[in-house]
Amino acid sequence: MLIDLALLVLAYLLGSLSFGLLLARLHGGVDLQRSGSGNIGATNVARIMGKTAGVLTLLGDGSKGLLAVLIAQTWGSSPRVAAAAALVVVLGHIFPLYYRFRGGKGVATALGALLLTLPLPLLGGLGVWVVVVAIWHYVSAGSMLAAIVVPILAALLAYPLPLVVAASLIAFLVLYKHRSNLQRLLQGNEPKIFVDR
């Protein structure tokens, strides 16, 4: 029990690391939270600092999700611990301890966290994301729809209930963090994906 609790604390602390903010500091102290959309995730990093920085942020934020779940699967007492770690690492990214609980939107971290636990539903979600972004060029819309699709597919494919619940809660968090994007989409002024960098 104590080991499981320690694993969840570790997952939260890993989630609280922000690769976007780290790269911004290395990039001359760019203030991501006051630039572009104000988000610290890969899309805003790419808009402000270029594609390479965006890809590095995506990989870094995804890797911490993957690592948290891998550690929980290895040392946790049950699959429920891995499911909880997936949720907690995303919570850490969205509400990071190190940055006054002002974090990103959780998509890249969720991608890494669900890779080991829900590979087929995640693949379905990625397919939805690719189609939406390719046709309409809105990363936010693709992310929200993908977040919704993953727990639905997990339930349809009869994955264990703790994983379905974790994916559902992660989807809720992603949608909550994208509420301003949704409002801009409805108003027709959401920025499209960059095409020139």
Note the pLDDT tens digit of each residue in 100-157. Answer: 899 999 999 999 999 999 999 999 999 999 999 999 999 999 999 999 999 999 999 9
Specify the pTM: 0.93
Alpha helices in the chain (DSSP H): 2-15, 19-26, 42-49, 51-75, 79-94, 107-115, 119-136, 139-156, 161-177, 179-187
- Residues 169 and 90: their CA atoms lie apart, in Å, by 10
The contacts of residue 5 (CB under 8 Å, 6+ apart) are none
Note the pLDDT tens digit of each residue in 35-92. Answer: 777 788 888 888 888 899 999 999 999 999 999 999 999 999 999 999 999 999 999 9
Predicted pLDDT at 196: 38
Domain boundaries, the chain: 2-187
- Residues 52 and 49: their CA atoms lie apart, in Å, by 8
Predicted pLDDT at 48: 85
- Residues 165 and 157: their CA atoms lie apart, in Å, by 14
Confidence grade of residue 194 (pLDDT, cut at 50, 70, 90): low
Predicted pLDDT at 61: 97
